[in-house]
Amino acid sequence: MKTLLATNAEILVTMDTERRELKNAGIYAEDGIIKKVGPVGELPQAADTVIDLSGQIVLPGFVNCHHHLNQTLTRCLPAAQNNNLFPWLQAQYRIWARITPEASRLSALVGLAELALSGCTTVFDHTYLFKNGNSADCLIDAAREIGIRFHCSRGSMSLGESRGGLPPDDCVEDEDFILKDTQRVIETYHDASHGAMTRIVIAPCAPFTVTPELLKESAALARHYKVGLHTHLCETLDEERYTLSRFGMRPVEWMETVDWLGEDVWFAHAIHVDDDEIRHFARCGCGAAHCPSSNMRLASGIAPIKQYMEAGVNVGLGVDGSASNDSSNMMQEVRAAFLLARLKMGLRPPEGPAKYMHLSPSHPKRSNEWMTARETLELATLGGARVLGRGDIGAIAEGMCADFFSLDLHTVDFAGALHDPVAAVVFCAPQKARYTVVNGRVVVDQGRMATVDLMPVIEQHNRWSIGIANDV
What does the pLDDT look like over 72-86, one tens digit per residue? 999 999 999 999 999
Cα gap 129→90, rounded to integer Å? 13
- Partners of 49 in beta bridges: 4
How does DSSP assign 113-162, residue by residue? HHHHTTTEEEEEE------TT--HHHHHHHHHHHT-EEEEEEEE----GG
Domain count, the chain: 1
With residue 386 as reference, give the H or E element that holds it.
Answer: helix 384-387
| 36, 398 Cβ separation under 8 angstroms | yes
Question: What average pLDDT does the segment 235-242 reach?
Answer: 96
Over 80: is that where the pLDDT of 139 sits?
yes
pLDDT of residue 472: 47
- Give the mean model confidence (pLDDT) for residues 416-435: 98
What is the predicted pLDDT for the residue at 352? 85
Residue 355 has what pLDDT? 85
Residue 39's pLDDT is: 97
**Taking residues 224-234, what's their average pLDDT?**
98
Residue 53 has a pLDDT of: 98
Q: Confirm whether 421 is domain-assigned.
A: no
Would the pTM of this model clear 0.85, i.e. be above it? yes
- Which residues, including other chains, have CB under 8 Å from residue 281's CB and lie 6 or more apart? 252, 261, 270, 273, 287, 288, 308, 311, 313
- The CATH number of the domain holding residue 244 is 3.20.20.140
Kindly report the number of other CB atoms within 10 A of residue 276's CB atom. 10
Q: Is residue 69 part of a domain?
A: yes
Mean pLDDT value of segment 246-254 = 97
Say if 452 falls within a structural domain. Answer: no
Helix (H, G, I), strand (E, B), or coil: what is residue 443?
strand
DSSP code at position 401: B
Per the prediction, the chain carries an average pLDDT of: 97
pLDDT at residue 122 is higher than 70: yes
Structural domain boundaries, residue 260: 62-344
Q: What is the mean pLDDT of residues 297-318?
A: 97
